[in-house]
């Protein structure tokens, strides 16, 4: 689940990470502005600035007009439901800092660069010397001395080093405490007075862990939070109804595509990795679908039946990252029951089944009983995607 900027900044504030003064503003609200402000459309996707979703206003009337404009704009497929207004800061230098999860190393990864405000992946390719990456463990977290070493690796020293290091250490705490898949501050601005301020923030929570955070879960259920240009198809609506069958886990967040391979994939970054990998190997996904958080057998079964009911879909790929709070056996049982009730042969229908994690031995027994090949922990998501693509032909 991707948080909106203001939602992310509320979390940063809890960790005493400095922010510009700001608040949400509504259309028609009485405003009084006596200094320049930045108006930011709140949409769950990057690239707002290039799409015209961030505007500067110099006075009250200017702000009113631009707020109205933003709330009626189509920004990369989203229509903003809110605008975040914050004071404009005079920035002396911009930095990047972030924490994500490295699925290959199976460890959190801290990233820092003295060149903020631009895409970190592009920077890492063109000027790798400006990006420092360092793994750390969940148990030890990212202590201050480790954070200081990461920042110093890019050539920063003195008071600036002492100011940046605690912020990177705190960002790692945010990442771990909120079960995030990625947390970024980009840019982190250095003001003329020497203060460091988080000017923008990007935060995504692992869908499997949303239930552990009541405040995040309530945001997810808020239907007025965001509005996408794309409307639900009947297929997607039925999937949503399946997800609502009971409160256990997630099984039914679906986006329909015109392909022949049905996907049942884990939430968060791993689901995007699996989806992209299948396409990279020449596969044609029939849908994007996230499951996790220990969904019931009923929900998985009904979801499987729905995907297999789509014309042209005769195979499904089941791919998740290593799971801890989703039982492999329950997913396996739901998949098999859904296939059987669809009148199909499980061994011929499952293009790949790759879910390592809790209760996996019991899950593998179920798969073996029905002749479904087992893909264990040694099989990467990319390799699983390759197998699925090959078997979907």
Query: Under 8 Å CB-to-CB from 269, ≥6 apart: which residues?
Result: 100, 101, 103, 181, 182, 204
Q: Which residue in 210, 316, 192 sits closest to 263, CA to CA?
A: 316
Q: How sure is the predictor about 228, in pLDDT bands with cuts at 50, 70 and 90?
A: low
Q: How sure is the predictor about 231, in pLDDT bands with cuts at 50, 70 and 90?
A: low
Q: How sure is the predictor about 273, in pLDDT bands with cuts at 50, 70 and 90?
A: confident
Clarify whether residues 200 and 243 are in a common domain: no
276 inside domain: yes
Clarify whether residues 330 and 292 are in a common domain: yes
Q: Which tokens go with 340?
A: 């059987």
Q: How sure is the predictor about 186, in pLDDT bands with cuts at 50, 70 and 90?
A: very high
Residue 70 in this model has a pLDDT that exceeds 80: yes
Q: Which tokens go with 145?
A: 């001395």
With contact defined as beta carbons under 8 Å apart, do 36 and 88 qualify? Answer: yes
Q: Provide the CB-side half-sphere exposure for 132 (13 A, CA).
A: 18
Q: How sure is the predictor about 268, in pLDDT bands with cuts at 50, 70 and 90?
A: low
Q: For 68-72, 181-185, 277-281, 324-328, which range has the lowest pLDDT when averaged over its residues?
A: 324-328
Q: For 15-19, 207-211, 261-265, which range has the lowest pLDDT when averaged over its residues?
A: 207-211
Clarify whether residues 62 and 97 are in a common domain: no
Clarify whether residues 127 and 77 are in a common domain: no
- Mean pLDDT in residue range 57-80: 90
Q: What is the pLDDT of residue 120?
A: 77
Q: What is the pLDDT of residue 56?
A: 95
Residue 162 in this model has a pLDDT that exceeds 80: yes
Burial letters 199-224, b for 16+ CB under 10 A, else e: bbbbbbbbbbbbbebeebeebbeeee
pTM of the model: 0.64
CATH value at residue 288 = 3.40.50.261
Clarify whether residues 83 and 96 are in a common domain: no
Q: How sure is the predictor about 17, in pLDDT bands with cuts at 50, 70 and 90?
A: very high
Q: Which domain holds residue 27?
A: 21-87
Clarify whether residues 239 and 335 are in a common domain: yes
CATH value at residue 50 = 3.30.1490.20
136 inside domain: yes
Residue 169 in this model has a pLDDT that exceeds 90: yes
% pLDDT > 70, the chain: 97
Q: What is the pLDDT of residue 269?
A: 65
Long-range contacts at 130-139 (CB < 8 A, ≥ 24 apart): 130/154, 133/109, 134/109, 134/110, 135/102, 135/105, 135/107, 135/108, 135/109, 135/110, 136/107, 136/108, 136/109, 136/110, 136/172, 137/107, 137/108, 138/107, 138/108, 138/176
With contact defined as beta carbons under 8 Å apart, do 189 and 200 qualify? Answer: no
Helices (H), 181-296: 214-220, 234-243, 269-280
220 inside domain: no
Q: What is the pLDDT of residue 229?
A: 58
182 inside domain: yes
């Amino acid at each position: 689940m991707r948080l909106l900027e203001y939602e992310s900044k509320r979390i940063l504030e809890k960790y005493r990470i400095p922010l510009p003064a700001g608040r949400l503003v509504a259309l028609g609200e009485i405003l009084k502005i006596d200094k320049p402000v930045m108006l930011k459309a709140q949409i769950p996707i990057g690239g707002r600035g290039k799409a015209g979703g961030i505007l500067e206003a110099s006075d009250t009337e200017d702000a009113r007009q631009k707020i109205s404009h933003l709330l009626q704009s189509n920004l990369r497929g989203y229509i903003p439901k809110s605008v975040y207004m914050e004071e404009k800061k005079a920035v002396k230098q911009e930095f990047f800092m972030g924490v994500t999860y490295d699925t290959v190393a199976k460890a959190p990864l801290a990233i820092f660069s003295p060149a903020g405000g631009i895409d970190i992946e592009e920077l890492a390719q063109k000027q790798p010397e400006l990006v420092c990456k360092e793994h750390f463990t969940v148990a030890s977290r990212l202590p201050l001395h480790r954070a200081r070493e990461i920042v110093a690796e890019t050539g920063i020293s003195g008071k600036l080093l002492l100011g940046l290091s605690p912020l990177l250490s705190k960002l790692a705490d945010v990442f771990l405490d909120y079960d995030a898949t990625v947390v970024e501050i980009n840019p982190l601005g250095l003001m003329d007075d020497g203060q460091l301020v988080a000017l923008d923030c990007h935060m995504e929570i692992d869908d499997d862990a949303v239930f552990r955070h009541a405040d995040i879960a309530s945001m997810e259920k808020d239907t007025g939070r965001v509005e996408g240009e794309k409307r639900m198809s009947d297929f997607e609506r039925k999937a949503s109804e399946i997800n609502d069958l009971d409160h256990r886990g997630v099984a039914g967040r679906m986006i329909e595509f015109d392909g022949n391979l049905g996907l049942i994939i884990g939430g968060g970054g791993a689901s995007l990795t699996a989806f992209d990998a299948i396409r990279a190997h020449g596969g044609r996904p029939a849908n994007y679908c996230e499951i996790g958080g220990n969904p019931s057998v009923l929900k998985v079964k009904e979801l499987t039946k729905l995907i297999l009911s789509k014309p042209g879909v005769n195979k499904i790929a089941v791919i998740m990252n290593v799971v801890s709070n989703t039982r492999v056996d329950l997913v396996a049982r739901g998949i098999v029951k859904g296939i059987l009730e669809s009148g199909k042969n499980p061994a011929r229908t499952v293009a790949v089944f790759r879910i390592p994690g809790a209760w996996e031995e019991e899950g593998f027994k179920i798969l073996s009983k029905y002749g479904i090949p087992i893909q264990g922990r040694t099989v990467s998501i990319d390799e699983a995607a390759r197998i699925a693509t090959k078997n979907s032909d």
